[in-house]
Chain A
Amino acid sequence: MAKIHVTATVNGDEVEFLCDPQQTLLDVLRDEMGLTGSKEGCGSGDCGACSVMLDGRLVCACLVLGAEVGGRAVETIEGMAKGEQLHPLQDKFLDLAALQCGICTPGVLIAAKALLEKNPDPSETEARFWLAGNLCRCTGYDKIIRAVLETASDMRAK
């Protein structure tokens, strides 16, 4: 099949791209748009390193075809900060050293942001289960969870 022409919104910008039917959204973001912030850790939806928002839902970009996002809105890690202003989660992750090698970090931040938008006051257990789809091998999750809970608290106080 010839390439499919897709128009979608990525991080608020209207984009157009061509993709093969079997190319995933992750392939398209990284290879067609140069948005390499979303990572491939497994290619099978088991690690969450490719987490993005699709029409407001947290998904693995490796399990979505590029062709499927026509007319839809995608949000990636590159859109999380507003200009130079980091999202409170990004700031907190830096302050609490909630990342080590950083490869899982974009996926974790996207997932954590989705959590706080849905549930501004998660318990530790709720945060852990929500983030269970984001594998991290470096941190043991401790500082990640602390950062998410503390950010939730900060954001509620505002």
Chain B
Amino acid sequence: MDDMRYEAPETIDAAVALLAGAGGDVRVLAGGTDILVQLRAEMIEPALLVDVKRIPEMMSITAEDGGFRIGAAVPGAELGEHQALKKAWPGVVEATELIGSTQIQGRASIGGNLCNGSPAADSVPALFVAQAMVGVAGPKGRREVPVAEIVTGPGKTSLAKGEIVVSIFLPARPEHSGDAYLRFIPRTELDIAVVGAGIDLTLDEGGVCVDARVALGAVAPTVLMVPEAAEALVGTKLDDAALDKMAQAASAACRPIDDKRGTKEFRIKVAGVMARRAARIAYKRAGQN
């Protein structure tokens, strides 16, 4: 670890070149709230840390095609201060704002949260149901990847050597739609999600759900999209029967583990509860749009 190099490139191309050219383990340093913990615990021993916070594209939020392109290293606190983003995608913003404490929020980013690949990452279920696209840059150029294709397993991404997540694109929000994210933690703050549920709904003029997505976090090796749970809501006004069916489908999809944060049974049960509660909030928000 004493041989670790630190570089702070100022352009994407320079970052890509560093990542592509390095031998040994290379890590991207955005907010550092996962990387530094892992460094300290000697869970990782990178040869090179590439700090991307001096690259303007990675640190900015811009309006694009009716939606928003968020730089991968933008701290969560900044997302929370962006009124227009918050209005359009309250679920994504509240999910990101749940990551850690206020201090963590001052640094932690969606890009980092995603690429760290934790099954319990808070922002990811919300990004899934938002159908976010991830802007990737690499030695072969740029590409846009559906967010669900980035994380392949705990701590693992599909990025090739030299590739880096540059931005996350949230599309324009359709009329009468809304998103929400809820998680269960034993305390009221700080804990890693024991279960997380992200919901996005679109309603028709009469308040009937015409499109839905449900994603669960911390109940499988990666975040789970649960189409059966979403289907249970489509064609309904989220009455109790529909919500029950959705909650059951959510619980049924879980493949959780027992660990120091929760038991299998607990996660399975509470996944349904959180999905139901998040759906109610998303429904209310959709009705207000």
Residues of A within 8 A of B (CB): 1, 4, 20-22, 24, 43-46, 48, 51, 54, 57-60, 62-65, 67-68, 70, 111, 114, 129-134
B residues 203-249 near A (Cβ < 8 Å) are: none
Instruction: Select one of B8, B75, B101, B107 contacting A48, CB under 8 A.
Output: B101
User: Contacts A22-B1, A111-B102, A111-B103; is A65 near B6 (CB within 8 Å)?
Assistant: yes
The answer to whether B102 touches A43, judged by C-beta atoms less than 8 angstroms apart, is no
SS of A interface (majority): mixed
Least distance between A53 CB and chain B CB atoms (Å): 9
A69 to B200, CA, bound (A): 39
What is the bound-complex CA distance between A129 and B29, given in angstroms? Answer: 27
A43, B42: Cα distance in complex, Å? 13
- B residues 112-134 near A (Cβ < 8 Å) are none
B37 contacts A4, CB within 8 Å? no
Interchain nearest-CB distance for A123 vs B (Å): 15
Q: How many A-B residue pairs have CB under 8 A?
A: 92
> Contact: B101 with A133, CB < 8 Å?
yes
Report the minimum CB–CB distance from A65 to chain B (whole Å): 7
Residues in B with CB closer than 8 Å to A58 are 102-103, 106
Q: From B2, B39, B104, name the one whose CB has the most chain A CB atoms within 10 angstroms.
A: B104
- The answer to the question of B252 belonging to the interface, with a C-beta cut-off of 8 Å to chain A, is no
CB contact between A133 and one of B37, B40, B77, B190 (< 8 Å): that residue: B190
Please provide the chain B residues from 16 to 47 with a CB less than 8 Å away from any CB of chain A in the complex: 29, 31-33, 36-37, 39-41
